[in-house]
Every structure is written in structure tokens, then in C-alpha cells.
């Protein structure tokens, strides 16, 4: 769940602004804060430093902030990429002390306090590393090209293309076995993302596409959700997990728990010695932190997360902070989960800590305030855990909608998403059903045969045209 809670130490933030410091100490340069990554944690830190007596530089390899909790809706044609994205420069446009760089970081020189990029470098006084995570294929990197994950807009549009194209190809296929393969969709990993994806694909086949084809029945699509653990949604209480499981089955999703995938190839997956044929495999089975640990030369866990102190700094370098999915932060003897609320609170905490250090004040350790978690399982059903309160159903779904709308960045995005959701709820349609980055060679050869040979003396006709297939 997304939330807006602050860490307990953030109340000590000083009120001095960058203009105050410049006017009083013109000869003293402002401390330079460099933030790597404009995700939830990095952007929260940057915004919290907007009126602080520091100079801020935000570095990201994309020019936009992505609202990842709704990325699965781009992958399943409910929303368009721009609906859940905001240009970083626009978000930070009013912060006169903040600069944005579109660049890819290649390393960090901790001893010399320098961030390395292609053909340039930049020095810092304080560094915030918020570089997120990527899919974890557990040593099988060759699976990445076959089974995309869901961490970026490119991932989402790739999945959307694969799903929609499978229906198009099945429509033109004469072999019933091949049709069955094309209409089989496999989601590996039953955390929140996997459950949301599986439910959304089921809704597409049963509702949005149900009447659009002439030679196939989209309702016959087979959606498999495969989980190696004993139950789906392991981060939620078991009672809520069971409710979600029942709803998925009712939607037509085949849920397989306690089943580990041993191989993935272009023809499908192998699990428990059985090969399941499908051209569309989606990987949501785990995450691995970015390369930040290698850049910093510090200890990491098996998932690549940097082990940080109670103040989110690395050993021997209190000026270097690591937050979000990149950090292994412990609380009450357990690691904090890699979710947006943790990253957001950590971003605000680190910004507050930097302000306090600049002002010569003491700082307090970071403490995460868990406000709950939630996941949606298709149309009109979600599960929500708010402290001791556990609910599942329509009310939980309304709560899920409200929270996600509230935390979308940009008023325009909120209005657009609400309108799209309202239309989809009333009509069962998905307006972003675009197949992009496709060429005709993806289609069966009989769709674009060579023109028939005509006798040399045959007259030319004026109505002969080349038929292009567009999506």
C-alpha cells in the first residue's frame, strides 16, 4: 500500500532556506546533494530538499518518474504509459536549487566523493542512492529475453504486445493445437504483481476481447499462475491469501502453488518435469537490487541489497545513504520489504537528516511506520491489511482505487486515470489495446503472400493495391 507517513525524526527539520544561507554566507558554497534515481525514494528526497540550504542534483537514466504500482495496467491495456508517468523536470520545476541530469551512472568513487557517468563525473557532499531493483532470474539470465518482467514502461509495452499479438495470431491459425498454445498465458510468481497481472489477463480474455474475433473464442484462453511457495500473496495474512486464491479461480485462472519452474524457453516453461507450451511467459518471481553494491564496494545480501546502518548510511561513510529496493534495512530484527511506502519514508528521512546535519543538529535513527498493504485481484475485488484490520472485497477495492489515485503524481494524470477506470468499469473495455513495435514478419507468411504471376499480355488494373496489416 502507498502511504504518506513520516519517520519520527523528520519533525526536527530546520526552517532555513537556501536563500537564507546564500544571503548570510555568500562566501560559503552550498553543500551538494546528489540523488541517483528518481523513483519513489529518490523523488521524495528531492522534493523534501526543495527549500533546504543545499544544492541538489537528481540523476536518472530515464526522464520520467514511473508510478510502478499501476504498471501492470499498462501491460494489460487498461492505461497508457503517459497516464502513470511524469517528467522529472516538470515535477521539480519549482525547486530553484535542483538540477536534473538525464544520464546513466557507471560507478561511484566513494573515497573522492564522485559519481561517475559516461564521459563525465560529478562530485558530492552527500549522496543518496535510490536505484531500485530489477527482476531476479536466479542465475538464468538467458530467460530475461523470453520471459519479461515488469519494472519499466518498455517491459509493460512488451508484455502488452505479446498478449494482444497472441490473440491476433490465434485468429489466423488453422491448427487447433497451435491455437491452444497461443492462447496459453503463464505468469511465474504469485506476489502482488503476478496476481494482478493474471487477473487482468483473465478479464481481457473473458470481457474486453470476448466479441471481437470471428474464428477463436478468447474466453477459452488459459491463464496459469505458478508459485513455488505454498500459497499466493505470501506477504499478506493467510486468510486474505485464501480469499484472493478463490477469486482467481472463479475468474478462470489456474493457480499452481508449490510448483517451481525449472526451465524457460521460447516454447514455454518446464515445471515438475512437465513442459507447458506457451509463447507468452511473464516473470514476476523475484527481484534483485541494482549494481549499487558493486559501485560502492560494500557488503550486500544474496539479492544484492546494500546493508545499511540504522541511519541508512553505509559503513565508514555517513554521507552516503542507500534507500528503497537497493537497501537492506533492518527493523525489529527483520528486513523491511521492498515496497513504495518504505522507499518514500526513507527518502523523506534522509532529506531531513541532511538538513539537520547542515544545521549542526543531531539525528535520530530511521523508523518505518507500517500503514498497511493492499493488492487488487481483478474487477471489484481487492485485499487490504491495515494494522489488525483485514478486509477483502468491493470495499477493499474502493480503498485500493482511492489510495492509488491519491498518490499518482500530477492532477491531470489523476483525472485521466479516474476517467479510464470509470469507462472500463461501465463497459468492460480497455482503450489502450495497441500493438506497438511490430513488423509484418511476426505474422504468418500466408497473410502477405507474393502477388500471383499474370500473363505478360494481361492488362493492368487500377484497383490493385498492397494490403498492409496495421495494429
DSSP state of 300: B
Q: Which helix H or strand E contains 87, and what residues bound it?
A: strand 85-87
- Cβ atoms 46, 86 nearer than 8 A: no
- Cβ atoms 326, 130 nearer than 8 A: yes
- Cβ atoms 313, 126 nearer than 8 A: no
Q: What whole-number distance in Å separates Cα of residue 171 and Cα of residue 344?
A: 45
Sign of the CA dihedral 355, 361, 367, 373? negative
What amino acid positions are annotated as catalytic residues? 196
Q: How far is CA 193 from CA 6, 11, 68, 159, 286, in A?
A: 26, 34, 10, 13, 10
DSSP E strand stretches across 200-295: 222-227, 253-257, 261-265, 268-271, 274-277, 280-283, 287-289
The b-or-e profile of 27-45 (16+ CB within 10 A means b, else e) is: eeebbbbbbbbbbbbbbbb
Q: What values do phi and psi take at 254, rounded to 5?
A: -85, 110
The b-or-e profile of 329-346 (16+ CB within 10 A means b, else e) is: beeeeeebebbbbbbbbb
DSSP state of 83: G
Q: What whole-number distance in Å separates Cα of residue 301 and Cα of residue 288?
A: 10
Q: Which three cell numbers stand for residue 313?
A: 548510511
The arrangement of strands across the sheet holding 268-271 comes to 261-265, 268-271, 274-277
Q: Which residues contact 456 (CB under 8 A, 6 or more apart)?
A: none
Amino acid at each position: 500500500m502507498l502511504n504518506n507517513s513520516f519517520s519520527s525524526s523528520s519533525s526536527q527539520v530546520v526552517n532555513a532556506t537556501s536563500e537564507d544561507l546564500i544571503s548570510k554566507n555568500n562566501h560559503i558554497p552550498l553543500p551538494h546533494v546528489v540523488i541517483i534515481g528518481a523513483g519513489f525514494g529518490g523523488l521524495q528526497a528531492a522534493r523534501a530538499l526543495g527549500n533546504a540550504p543545499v544544492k541538489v542534483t537528481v540523476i536518472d537514466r530515464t526522464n520520467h518518474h514511473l508510478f510502478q504500482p499501476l504498471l501492470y495496467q499498462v501491460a494489460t491495456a487498461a492505461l497508457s504509459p503517459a497516464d502513470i508517468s511524469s517528467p522529472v523536470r516538470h515535477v521539480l520545476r519549482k525547486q530553484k536549487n535542483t538540477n536534473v541530469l538525464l544520464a546513466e551512472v557507471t560507478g561511484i568513487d566513494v573515497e573522492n566523493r564522485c559519481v561517475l557517468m559516461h564521459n563525465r563525473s560529478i562530485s558530492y557532499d552527500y549522496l543518496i542512492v535510490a536505484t531500485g531493483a530489477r527482476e531476479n532470474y536466479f542465475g538464468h539470465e538467458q530467460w530475461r529475453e523470453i520471459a519479461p518482467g515488469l519494472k519499466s514502461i518498455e517491459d509493460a509495452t512488451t508484455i502488452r504486445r505479446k498478449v494482444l499479438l497472441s490473440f491476433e495470431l490465434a485468429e489466423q491459425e488453422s491448427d487447433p493445437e497451435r491455437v491452444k498454445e497461443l492462447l496459453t498465458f503463464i505468469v511465474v510468481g504469485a506476489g502482488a504483481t503476478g496476481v494482478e497481472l493474471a487477473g487482468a489477463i483473465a478479464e481481457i480474455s473473458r470481457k474486453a476481447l470476448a466479441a471481437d474475433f470471428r474464428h477463436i473464442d478468447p474466453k477459452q484462453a488459459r491463464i496459469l499462475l505458478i508459485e513455488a511457495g505454498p500459497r499466493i500473496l505470501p506477504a499478506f495474512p493467510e486468510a486474505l491469501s485464501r480469499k484472493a486464491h478463490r477469486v482467481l479461480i472463479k475468474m478462470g485462472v489456474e493457480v499452481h502453488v508449490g510448483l517451481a519452474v525449472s526451465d524457460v524457453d521460447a516454447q514455454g516453461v518446464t515445471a515438475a518435469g512437465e513442459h507447458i507450451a506457451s509463447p507468452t511467459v511473464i516473470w514476476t518471481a523475484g527481484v534483485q537490487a541494482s549494481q549499487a553494491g558493486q559501485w560502492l564496494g560494500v557488503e550486500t545480501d544474496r539479492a544484492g541489497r546494500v546493508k545499511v546502518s540504522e541511519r541508512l548510511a553505509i559503513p565508514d561513510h555517513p554521507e552516503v545513504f542507500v534507500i528503497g529496493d537497493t537497501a537492506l534495512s533492518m527493523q525489529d530484527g527483520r528486513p523491511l520489504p521492498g515496497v513504495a511506502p518504505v522507499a518514500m519514508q526513507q527518502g523523506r528521512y534522509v532529506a531531513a537528516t541532511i538538513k539537520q546535519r547542515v544545521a549542526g543538529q543531531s539525528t535520530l535513527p530511521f523508523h518505518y511506520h507500517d500503514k498497511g498493504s493492499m493488492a487488487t485481484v481483478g474487477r471489484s475485488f481487492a485485499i487490504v491489511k491495515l494494522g489488525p484490520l483485514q478486509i477483502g472485497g468491493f470495499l477493499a477495492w474502493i480503498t485500493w482505487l482511492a489510495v492509488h489515485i491519491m498518490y499518482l503524481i500530477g492532477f491531470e494524470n489523476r483525472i485521466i486515470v479516474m476517467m479510464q477506470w470509470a469507462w472500463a468499469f461501465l463497459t468492460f473495455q480497455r482503450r489502450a489495446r495497441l500493438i506497438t513495435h511490430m513488423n509484418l514478419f511476426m505474422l504468418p507468411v500466408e497473410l502477405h503472400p507474393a502477388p500471383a504471376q499474370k500473363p505478360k499480355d494481361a492488362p493492368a488494373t487500377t484497383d490493385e493495391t498492397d494490403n498492409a496489416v496495421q495494429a
